[in-house]
Amino acid sequence: MAALGVGLGVSGLLTYNAGLFARDLAGAIGLSRTAFGAAFFGSTLAMAAAMPLVGRLVDRFGPRAIAAFGAAMLSVGFLALSQVRSVTLYIIIVVLIGPLTAGSTPVPYTRAVSAAFDRARGGLALGLTQVGIGLAAAIVPPVIGLVIARQGWQHGFLALAMLAALGLLPALLGLPGRSPHSGSPGDEDHAAIRASSLFRLQYAAFCTMAFAFAGMLSHFVPMLREAGMPVERAGALAGLIGGSVIVTRILVGWLADRIEPAWLGCASCLVCA
C-alpha cells in the first residue's frame, strides 16, 4: 500500500509527466520553455519549504490524514491545470501544487514503514516502498502521452487528476491514523538535529541531487518533442526511466543494508554524473 501511495503522489505523477504537456501548452496559452521551467522550479522550492512542516505534522497527527490531504490537493491541482487559460495562471497553479501536495510525497509512507520494522528499516523495506514511484514513472507517461495525442492536453490533466484521486485509497486504508511511535520529537530535539553536521551534509547532498534530477526529468520530454518526436513516443521513452528506477530502488535498498550507505551514495552520484 505504501508503494502504491507514493506512486500516485506528486513524486510519481507530476515530476515524470509535466514535460508531456509543455509543447501543447505552448500552442494553447503561449507557454515558453522558460516559463515552464520557472513554474516547475518554483513548485520544487515551495515544496521543499513545506517539507519540514509536513514532517512535523506527520509526527503529531499521524501519516494518514497528511497523506490523504496531499492526495486530494494533487487531484484538485490537476483539475485546475486542465482549465488553465493563461501563462500566469499556469505558473500560479503549478507553484501552489508544490506546498499543498507535499503530504503526498513519500514522507508519510516511509515514516509508517520505518516505524513498522525493527531491522533493516533503512534499506530494503524503504527501497520497496520507493518502487511505487518507478512503477508510476514507467506506466503513466506512455498512457498520458496517448491520451494527449488522441484527446488533447486537457484530457491528459483530467486523467492525472483521476489517478491522483486514487491515491486517497492507500492513504486512508493503508496508513495508521496516528504515528506508530509513541510521542514525537520536541523543539529541542529538532534543534539538535538541525545543528548536527550530519544533517547539514545530508541536506546539502539532497539539494544538489534534487536540482540535477529535477532539471533533467522536467525537460527530457520537451527536448524530445522539439526534436520532432510525437508525444506518445516521447512518453514511451520517458517510461524507460521509470523502469530503471524500479530496479535501482530495490538494488540500492538491498545494498544499503549490507554496505556503508555513504559510499553507496557516492557511487550512485558518480554513475549519474
Residues 31-40: pLDDT tens digits?
998 999 999 9
Percent of the chain at pLDDT exceeding 70: 90
pLDDT category of residue 186 using cuts at 50, 70 and 90: low
- Cβ-count burial of 194 within 10 angstroms (0-12 exposed, 13-18 middle, 19+ buried)? exposed
pLDDT category of residue 126 using cuts at 50, 70 and 90: low
Give dist(CA 202, CA 132) in Å, integer.
24
pLDDT at 124: 64
Over range 162-179, report the average pLDDT. Answer: 85
Over range 177-187, report the average pLDDT. Answer: 54
The 3-state secondary structure of the chain reads CHHHHHHCCHHHHCCCCHHHHHHHHHHHHCCCHHHHHHHHHHHHHHHHHHHHHHHHHHHHHCHHHHHHHHHHHHHHHHHHHCCCCCHHHHHHHHHHHHHHCHHHCCHHHHHHHHHHCCCCCCCHHHHHHHHHHHHHHHHHHHHHHHHHHHHCHHHHHHHHHHHHHHCHHHHHHHCCCCCCCCCCCCHHHHHHHHHCHHHHHHHHHHHHHHHHHHHHHHHHHHHHHHCCCCHHHHHHHHHHHHHHHHHHHHHHHHHHCCCCHHHHHHHHHHHHC
> Global pTM?
0.80
Number of folded domains that form the chain: 1
pLDDT at 24: 93
- Report if residue 189 sits inside a domain: no
**What pLDDT, in 10s, does the model give residues 79-105?**
999 999 999 999 999 999 999 999 988
> What is the CATH classification number for the domain harbouring 150?
1.20.1250.20
pLDDT at 180: 47
pLDDT category of residue 183 using cuts at 50, 70 and 90: very low
- Report if residue 260 sits inside a domain: yes
- Report if residue 222 sits inside a domain: yes
Task: Reply yes or no on whether the pLDDT at 75 is more than 90.
Answer: yes
pLDDT at 116: 64
pLDDT at 182: 43
- Report if residue 184 sits inside a domain: no
- Mean of pLDDT over the chain: 84
Give dist(CA 252, CA 33) in Å, integer.
34
- Report if residue 187 sits inside a domain: no
**What pLDDT, in 10s, does the model give residues 229-243?**
888 888 888 888 777
Give dist(CA 23, CA 231) in Å, integer.
9
pLDDT category of residue 122 using cuts at 50, 70 and 90: low
**What pLDDT, in 10s, does the model give residues 199-230?**
888 888 888 887 787 778 788 888 888 888 88
- Report if residue 188 sits inside a domain: no
pLDDT at 217: 78
Q: Domain range spanning residue 103?
A: 2-179+195-272
pLDDT category of residue 127 using cuts at 50, 70 and 90: low
